[in-house]
Amino acid sequence: ANRRQVALTMLEAVNKAGTSPESVKEIEELFSVIAPVLRDERDAAPGLNMGAQPPLSMERTANLMAGLGVSPQPGYGAYGQAGPGFTLQEDPQYRKDSALVSKLIHLLNHKDTDVQFEMLIVARQHLNAGKIERTGTAYTALVFAGLKLAKRILLEEIGEVPTSQTSGDSNEAESKEEEEKEQGGNESPEAETPDTNGESGQTKTEGDASQEEMAVEAAEDDENPTEPEDESSPADVTKEEEPRVEDVTLTPRTVSCRKVFIFVQETIAALAKGKPETGVKLYLESALTVDKLASRGNKKATGQDAFGSIAYEFISQSFAVYEEHSGDSRLQSRCIVAMIGTLLDCRSLSKEDYESLIMKTAQYSAKMLKKPEQCAMVAQCAYLFYVVGKDDVVVYSNPQRGLECLQRALKLADACTNTNPGNVELFVDLLEHYLFFFEKGHPSVTGNYITGLVALIKEHTNNLDPSAIGDAKAHFLQVVKYIKKMKEKEESSERFAAIDVSSV
């Protein structure tokens, strides 16, 4: 047996138990025990020399494990006596170990938000002592744990959640949601983007719990009706003076949402040094979380202006990381898609901040290294200048800039098609973009634009090698079929009358 095996046994036991230690001191001791999973002996531990005798004795390690129903490995003596230090494992092993640490971080919970915040700080101190390739997933878990804590603090401040709520079942369900988001969100931020937060599921749980409590209280009232003639009885007086459970548990809070967001920002900054793409996406995810929190209550209760500034700062940080690593063509497209998705969903940004960010995003798109990807991203930027919300309400409108994006994308598509006939698909994609804006009432996108684009695509498909553009031509015919269908519908025939596709 060795130290790493003991650490893994401890992690698996904690995760299986579904609960974590309840004090900061116990969290400190637990992370000291699992140190071999976070770093090797050449990495400096937080506040101690790895070559020196660790502050934890084997007796305390045994006590911690015994409390979880796990016995230490037989024959394992004092720290460092199990043989030479473990060797670095392959990346799959790192990911497996980091996943166990991530589950532990998701379990961290305390009825006092200040104490829970201190737990997260202890966890980050130990992660910082290791290497990113070992702890990358755990950093991501720490970010989501911080965002969840910020949400909890805000909801308690505005009275949407009882202060004493620390349901283990609810915490476990939320932890599973965050773990799924980490795995899926790191690959596709748009899906994360916006829903990384898992708000709907959590709100339902809290609402159901509140309804159950109200039902129980109502039943108790029915069983024990108050008698009018004994209103001044000593028993009633005592009952009236008895404080509510929530009042007893209320304590002055020193950790605010802003402080938690600073913690999140610092954590992402540490991760972004080794994993820039993950850093960009986590900054954007954090901005979306801030934006959603700003919309949970009225402007006075949530400080919406302040939340908008925080969201702007998170997005700006993601842009800074992107600029530092923008030479990587593999990173460009995925990150810009995430930026566009985040900006389209944010509603707490001021007009000045929003315009500044979308102009930067458009510039990033225009500087992409691969021309076909540049064409696609420039076209996507058109959506930033004509934002349509629920019920087709226009949230932001700069139609001329949006049209300029579409026209620039057309020029890029033409250049790409001249180089490679298979890129004619770019024209078909642009036709769909034009159709979207036309249907949404974009003032600068008229039926003449769509008629001309249809004629242009028809010309290309007739002159190019059919074997090279088979999929693109089939896609084009489907779009034309949709246009003809809309021309026949009574509710849309008047609008689509301006589009002529009779030649196709």
pLDDT tens track for 242-252:
444 344 344 56
Residue 452 has pLDDT above 80, yes or no: yes
191 CB contacts (<8 Å, ≥6 apart)?
Answer: 184, 185
Residue 399 near residue 444 (C-beta atoms within 8 A): yes
**What is the token pair recorded at 379?**
């076209």
Alpha-carbon gap, residue 65 to 239, rounded angstroms = 44
Residue 58 has pLDDT above 60, yes or no: no
SS3 45: strand
Phi, psi (degrees; rounded to nearest 5) at 236: -65, -40
Please tell me whether the overall predicted TM-score, pTM, comes out greater than 0.75 for this model: no
Confidence of residue 264 (pLDDT cuts 50, 70, 90): very high
Residue type present at position 494: E
Residue type present at position 274: G
Alpha-carbon gap, residue 100 to 112, rounded angstroms = 25
Mean pLDDT score across all residues of the chain: 77
15-29, 151-165, 264-278, 438-452: which range is least confident on average? 151-165
Q: Given this model, what pLDDT does residue 182 score?
A: 52
306-327 pLDDT, tens digit per residue, is 889 999 999 999 999 999 988 7
Q: What is the mean pLDDT of residues 66-87?
A: 38
Q: Given this model, what pLDDT does residue 119 score?
A: 94
The conformational region for residue 389 under phi > 0 = left, psi -120 to 50 = alpha, else beta, is: beta
